[in-house]
Structure 1
Amino acid sequence: MKEHDYSVTVNWVGNTGQGTASYTAYTRDFTVQMPGKHDLLGSADPAFRGDPKRWNPEDMLLASLSACHKLWYLHLCAVNKVKVLEYVDQAQGRMVEGDDLRKGHFTQVVLRPQIVISRDSDSALAMRLHDEAHHECFIANSVNFPVTCEAVITHQG
């Protein structure tokens, strides 16, 4: 079994001079850093006093699921001779804040990729490859809520 290790630095940059003296005394802003990569500017969701212009953990989870599926899908299309020309996903996720028994958690994510393939590519095969991509996706295999895919495939022109 192969193992892969990942490491990032999450640096809170929201101390406005009082630290966490009160719930409103600080911002939720942070940077995600990794040597050799651009910093990712993060915050909490605006519902939790975050900056709406920055990525929040919920956004990043949704983006990770979408990106992982896309990467596997493109790989599978390449090795199965399906020529993808465009791929855009309008993914949506639902989180509930929960109760005392189960705190906030995602209940579902729906991937909605819109894919354009070449005229000579097999659209039925292109559609089937989404199931395989889902089963290969490392991120989807790591979450405890359903991730579904509602793909739309069209031919070029």
Structure 2
Amino acid sequence: MSEHKIGLSWKKGPEDFKYESYDRTHSIRYSGGQKLTGSSTTETYGNGELVNPEELLASAVCSCHFLTFLAIAAKSRYTVSTYEDNAIAVLEKNTDGKTVVTQIDLYPKVTFEGEKIPDQEALNGLHAKAHKNCFISNSIKSEVTIHPS
């Protein structure tokens, strides 16, 4: 169907290569030319000022839900004027004792304009349909929960 490629590069710094001390800063390059600097979480000795994989996963789910929601709203003849979200990825041990992202919560806040404004039931339906059709959510094992406001 389609391929989506990124490039990642990392180089050891002058510090000793020990788990507690090696630099986790790396570059991620996207096919459109954007570059992102990432690290691991501070809990795993990373730089908390840089994006980490857990945040990237949450942002992928959040962005996919948002884009799918806009498509469904437009096809349903609703005019979205603003969309905001504050996603949370929860990292914890699963039943096998492995650390995984067990849940991603989305908190979308959408405003509409025009003559056709969805009531809460219709809004929940739009989000449910977006969630069902979001290919990122459909691709991961973590539970994804939508909390529209």
* 2:58 partner letter: L
CA contact (8 A) 1:110 1:149 kept: yes
Question: Residue 109 of structure 2 aligns with which residue?
Answer: 114
Measure the CA separation in 1 of the matches of 2:69 and 2:60: 14
Deviation larger for 35-44 or 80-89: 35-44
Q: Percent identity?
A: 26
Measure the CA separation in 2 of the matches of 1:121 and 1:56: 40
Q: For 1:80, which of 60, 76, 79 is the aligned residue? A: 76
Cα deviations across residues 11-39 of structure 1 (Å, max 9, x unaligned)?
114x222562x223421000101344221
1:5: Cα distance to partner? 1.0
Measure the CA separation in 2 of the matches of 1:50 and 1:44: 4
Q: Does 1:70 align with 2:69?
A: no
Measure the CA separation in 2 of the matches of 1:119 and 1:7: 39
TM-score normalised by the chain length of structure 2: 0.90
TM-score normalised by the chain length of structure 1: 0.86
Cα deviations across residues 47-72 of structure 1 (Å, max 9, x unaligned)?
10111111100000000000000000
Measure the CA separation in 2 of the matches of 1:102 and 1:90: 28
Measure the CA separation in 1 of the matches of 2:90 and 2:45: 19
- Structure 2 residues without counterparts, runs of 5 or longer: none
Aligned length: 147
Deviation larger for 142-151 or 64-73: 142-151
Measure the CA separation in 2 of the matches of 1:4 and 1:147: 24
Q: Does 1:48 align with 2:44?
A: yes
- Structure 1 residues without counterparts, runs of 5 or longer: 153-157
Measure the CA separation in 2 of the matches of 1:32 and 1:120: 43
